[in-house]
Amino acid sequence: MKISNVLTQAWGLLALVNAPVEARGHSRTEACHPHHPFKPLPSSQPRTRTCHVANHGDGQDDSANVLAALKKCNNGGKVVFDTDKTYTIGKALDMTFLKHVDLEIHGHVQFSNDTDYWQANAFKQIYQNAATFFQLGGEDVNVYGDGVLDGNGQAWYDLYAKDPLILRPILMGVIGLNGGTIGPLKLRYSPQWYHFVANSSDVLFDGIDISGFSSSANTAKNTDGWDLYRSTNVVIQNSVINNGDDCVSFKPNVSDILVQNLHCNGSHGISVGSLGQYPGEVDIVQNVLVYNISMFNASDGARIKVWPGAASALSTDLQGGGGSGLVKNITYDGMTIDNVDYAIEVTQCYGQKNLTLCNEFPSKLVIEDILFKNFKGVTSGKYDPNVGTIVCSSPDVCSNINAKGIEVSSPDGDDGFTCTNVDVSLLDLNCDSS
């Protein structure tokens, strides 16, 4: 598909998802279409007062003003970032105390590019050296508007190229939020992941517009759209994601997740994992529905990635293997792909290039009850004649993996799949299991 057509589709979706947000207080479940969350989402209480965030407007730090407005309008108010104003955030903000409050963002909120400060003071999370500019948490919190959250990522893209061990902040840290709606909202130039959602429940992301690429030769790397961790009953829908890593990633110990109506461009697909990275840890991802996805110019469409049973190294700053756990009841239903390397990729050898070692030390993480259906489109041709791969390290840790209605081919018309250590009778695919 031509880039112009991709952009036309993306902007068409954005026109729908960025329509004005009406008064809060509706049931969040009613806003989820066509599929509903695994569990009903709670309603939001009415907001009865409004506070406007003061700003200096000259690049000075406005973080104290943000905290002052939040404390003043917490418990039943609305905090507004005004139109045509630029707010500079130069301090790490702990906003986990929020309750029954809205953040209505119409201005441009930009985090400072003081990389030394942020490496020392960004909130350290407990997974994969993750760090966040701020922590948004509490109960019944809504964040929306036609404004922008800007991570000022270029300084980080250039710094990471020199030192891959730096701690790059995640643009939006949703930490311990129970009940909330995020979006519509524009997110730009995150230094690393765009969202890290941890220890949260009953959260709806609706109408998120993600984009931000490097203007230098140093690529913006690891810019996942969403990474979910230790969270349940989360919905991600009606969004456009232009990035350079996973569109959405289900990290350890998430359940009851609905992802629907996304336009992903330039990504690594919608991924379960990576899982099994840390020895002694038990990673569980279960009850996930991924529906109606458009995937363009990506390495993968649907992906399940699990570390092997022995230590491996994917890169200088990402190593692991040996953990255990379970991936269960995962459905990918409806995906249109164009210029995607693999339509479907299942691997239990993530991070390990030596397949002999993977077979010698099979994954300790079980994959079962997986369904891929209703895929269509054309791959990039990178792996001709294959358009996908479903490879388990042992038949003892993979069962009931199904595929049907997969109408995907390479530019040359090939439709091969590598299928290893799986029951090929459940795969309506052109499998090569040699």
Domain holding 7: CATH number? 2.160.20.10
CA–CA separation, 402 and 364 (whole Å):
21
Please tell me which residue, 299 or 349, carries the higher pLDDT value: 299
What pLDDT is stored for residue 333 in this prediction? 98
User: What is the number of structural domains in the chain?
Assistant: 1
- Considering only 2-6, 290-294, 336-340, which range has the smallest mean pLDDT? 2-6
**φ/ψ bin of 158: left (φ > 0), alpha (ψ from -120 to 50), beta (otherwise):** alpha
CA–CA separation, 65 and 260 (whole Å):
36
Its pTM stands at 0.94
- Considering only 17-31, 143-157, 261-275, 295-309, which range has the smallest mean pLDDT? 17-31
Counting every residue, how long is the chain? 434
274: preceding bond cis by omega (within 30 degrees): yes
Domain of 194 in residue numbering reads as 3-432
pLDDT at 61 over 80: yes
pLDDT in tens, 236-288: 999 999 999 999 999 999 999 999 999 999 999 999 999 999 999 999 999 99
36 is catalytic: no
Average pLDDT of the chain is 92
CA–CA separation, 247 and 190 (whole Å):
14
